[in-house]
Homo-oligomer: A and B are copies of this chain.
């Protein structure tokens, strides 16, 4: 089983650090990346501070991440400074990109035509969104004004997406075909969840450990919801292998062993997926 490519997520924004906003973007991205066979090893939330952003990116690279997706801080205001941090981490200057400026100009023209903004003038604040790290590729934002930004180079990719969830999701889909190479180390995955028939985590811990030791490439996790709210604890079983049928065989074996030890357990549907472009979850 080849190791899956490691990805990290970096959410930027003071509103996440004051509790005003829950970081739903990272969970959404984590789900998408996991479904493509990547292993999201860390999520980090930092302030709108280029030094913090650059430090977090450098640390991610040192920890072996091949991909970092940043969310937030791409807009026109003074506190949108994510690309300053990205540029610093990649040791690139921030330079105006003609293609990005064309995207911004066109989007403001569209928004003005729809009376969403008052004018089409590319003010300094709007122009700011066309300044990207040298060598970066702007990605056309289908929802908002700030282009997404893809920085590739020597095995480390940084994708910067806006913080507004609808824009973030739209731009992720734009970027996904460009991430194929960095995600190419992904494995086939098969996963299911079981009702354990018990509310008592401690009762199933030994069984879970035994099955994990017995079946290679299998990860089993109980999903505690608290005794008060869930009298039927769920168990998630995830199997990895180089091809899908092998992953599904491993999953079936683990589920069989769990069922033998937990007689009232009931398995759910099996989902399997890979990182190939034709089978997103």
Give me the interface of A with B, judged by CB distance under 8 Å: 14-24, 26-34, 39-48, 52, 59, 75-79, 111, 116-118, 123, 125-126, 128, 143-145, 163-164, 166-167, 199-206, 208-209, 212, 219, 221-229, 231, 236
The residue that A18 contacts in the complex, of B19, B22, B31, with Cβ under 8 A, is B31
| B residues less than 8 Å from A117 (CB atoms) | 199-200, 227
| B residues less than 8 Å from A144 (CB atoms) | 226-228
Instruction: Taking A15-B221, A22-B22, A26-B45 as given, write out 14 further A-B residue pairs in contact, using a Cβ cutoff of 8 Å, ordered by the A residue number.
Output: A17-B34, A17-B41, A18-B30, A19-B29, A19-B30, A20-B31, A44-B44, A75-B201, A78-B208, A117-B227, A143-B226, A145-B227, A166-B226, A166-B228
| B residues less than 8 Å from A20 (CB atoms) | 31, 223, 236
26 contacts between A and B (CB under 8 A): A15-B236, A16-B27, A17-B34, A17-B39, A19-B27, A19-B29, A19-B30, A19-B32, A20-B31, A22-B22, A22-B27, A23-B27, A23-B43, A44-B45, A48-B221, A59-B59, A75-B201, A76-B202, A77-B224, A78-B205, A111-B227, A117-B199, A117-B227, A125-B201, A144-B226, A164-B226
| B residues less than 8 Å from A236 (CB atoms) | 15, 20
State how many angstroms separate the Cβ of A47 from the closest Cβ of chain B: 7
The 7 closest A-B pairs by CB, nearest first: A19-B31, A125-B202, A19-B30, A43-B45, A76-B202, A164-B226, A22-B27
A22-B26 Cα distance, complex, nearest whole Å: 8
